[in-house]
Structure formats: structure tokens, C-alpha cells
Copies of this chain bind each other. A is one copy, B any other.
Amino acid sequence: MSSIEMIEAAAARLRGHARETPLLSSPFLDDIAERRVLVKPECLQHTGSFKFRGAWSAISALDETARKRGVIAYSSGNHAQGVAYAAARHGISSVIIMPSDAPQLKIENTRALGAEVVLYDRANESREEIGEALADQRGLTLIRPYDEPQVIAGQGTTGLEIARQARELGVTKADVLVCCGGGGLTSGIALALEHHAPGLRPRPCEPEGFDDVKRSLASGTIQNNNASSGNICDAILTPQPGRITFPILQRLCGPGLSVSEQEALHSMALASLRLKIVLEPGGAVSLASALFRKDQIEGEAVIVVASGGNVDPQIFKDALEFLT
């Protein structure tokens, strides 16, 4: 199981390899949110999302024999890039299983980062089955995207940074909005905050219609989404919360929040105008929650984890229409 000790050990392994991202702010966003908004731009992390942290944590934790055989991952994109790049920087090989309808940019990037890409049909095949079969055949270690203690520990290093940075800015009590798919980032941050900033309360943020975590937290049992695709927030469309992550979320998170695709796009536009960062839709649902669900948020400040920026250029241009 993941623990604060694992997160702190992961932080030591990540030092000098992952970036420490700053906390950004803009008085213009504060005005919209009607409270102080502090944004952690994980889009600036290596490979454009927080996923590099978990990938580095998991690969660096392997024993040398296993590591040398290589790793495998299944992912709609950001986890793929994180694993591919972390593997390449460890000097080992990686195989990435990706849905054939993933954004072309993410597929190309994953290949360019040194991975072998295997495509599958999201509607008719199980990525888990394909991944486990390939892992067995080639002796590869499977790096799961969220239900994996060392991955959760790596993502949790984001929470260690938030705890320290928020304290330096005088913020000790606030909701921490986290874009949530399977819950790896949210649960890692939750564990870090529990120990280092107990006044900061994590809250998962999702797209409307894919709010399995929000409904699972409300009902107390794991709920599924009805669909597995058909929303612009592709990075965080997971069928249900993880078996490892959900109990952590249940114990430590406040209620979930959900936003529309238009609100995610609008927030991407505001992030580019006011913070000078590029977000993808799935990485902007946290900011959208801060800006457009302010009545559901408590406190004089809110912390927003903007989790990724790997957006297709056309979608980004569409988002910028909100500015003109």
C-alpha cells in the first residue's frame, strides 16, 4: 500500500529528474473565482503532465534485473509519454499500449520518446488483457497508470510540493482541486497533504457525464461511467476509480466536482491569457471547477492542480475562441 514514507522516498528518487513546478496566480483569476487561486502547472512537467513523476517513481523503484528487461504500460496518452521518457532516461526499453483513437499528437510523441507503440480498439478490446499478455511474453514489468503503489507515490510528490509552497504563501486552509481519472494523482496528493498540510482538503474534479469518482464518493461504493469515450477530456476518462485509490479518496477527499466541456475549454483560454500556460481539457477541469463552481468550494483560497497540457493544436485553437 502507498504511504507517506513511500511518497517521501519517491521524492528523493525524483530529485534532479522531475521538475518542481511553481505555484502561479493572477489577480484576474482571483476576481472570477472570488477567492485567491493558486495554480500548480503540471503541464510544465517533463512530457507535459504529472505522469512523469509516477513513471519515474515506478521505474526507479524496480530492482536492476527487472528494470533491464524493460517496462510496458497502457494509456490514452499522458501516462504513455511519462513512461516512455522515464524509461528512455533510465536507458531501458518500453512498450506502450494505446487506443487507436488517441490524439495523433500523443501517439507520435510517445514513439518519438523512444517507445514501441501497440494500438488497440477501445470499444472491443481490453487494454488490461493485452498489457498483461505482452508483459508475460517478454518479461516486461507492467507500470499501471494509477492502481500501483509506486505510481501513486510518485504522483504524491506533487502534494509534498503543494504543502510546502502553499505554506510559504501563507495558505494553510484551502480546497485542493485535482483533475481525476483513476485517482492516482488525487490519492497521492491526498496522502501527502494528510501528513504535511492537514488543512488542505483534496477534491477530485471530473467532466460531467464521466463523474464516476464524484458519484462513488457520494454513494460510498465504486460507480462506473456509462461510456468510455465521447468527451473532450480524454486524459481522464477512466471507467471507475481504482481499487487501491478509491479507499484513499474515500478517507481523505471532500466531495467531487464536475464541469462541462465548454467550461473546460473556457478555462484553457483563461489559463493561456492570464497564466501563460497551455492546458489540455482533462488538465483544466480543476481550474474550471475553481472558476465555475465557486459556490461548491470553501475557503478564502483554492489550490488548482492543472495536471497536463498535451492538447491537439486544433482543440487548443477552438478554446482560444473564448478570448475573441
Contacts and interface: CB of A to CB of B under 8 A. Distances in A.
A324 B320 contact: no
A168 B16 CA distance: 8
A272 B276 CA distance: 9
A173 B27 CA distance: 38
Interface in A30-50: 31, 41, 43-44, 48
Interface string A272-291: 11011111000000000000
Interface string A5-48: 00000000000100111101001100100000000010110001
A22 B309 CA distance: 17
B22 A313 contact: no
Given A20-B22, A112-B27, A278-B276, A313 B309 contact: no
Contacts of A171: none
Contacts of A96: none
Contact of A323 (B22, B109, B313, B323): B313
A320 B317 contact: yes
A303 interface: no
A320 B309 contact: no
A189 interface: no
A113 interface: yes
A27 B317 contact: no
Contact of A277 (B19, B21, B269, B276): B276
Given A22-B20, A313-B324, A320-B317, A44 B112 contact: no
A65 interface: no
Nearest to A316: B320
Contact of A44 (B16, B22, B113, B273): B22
Contacts of A28: 109, 112
A187 to B, nearest CB: 24
Contact of A278 (B20, B22, B277): B277
A269 B272 CA distance: 13
B27 A44 contact: no
Contacts of A85: 27
A137 interface: no
A276 B78 CA distance: 14
A309 B272 CA distance: 9
18 contacts: A16-B168, A22-B22, A24-B44, A27-B85, A27-B113, A28-B109, A28-B112, A41-B276, A44-B275, A44-B277, A105-B273, A269-B313, A272-B278, A273-B313, A278-B278, A316-B320, A317-B324, A320-B320
Given A28-B109, A313-B324, A317-B317, 20 more contacts: A16-B168, A19-B22, A19-B24, A21-B22, A22-B44, A28-B112, A41-B44, A41-B276, A44-B276, A44-B277, A48-B276, A269-B313, A273-B313, A276-B277, A276-B279, A276-B309, A278-B278, A313-B323, A314-B324, A316-B320
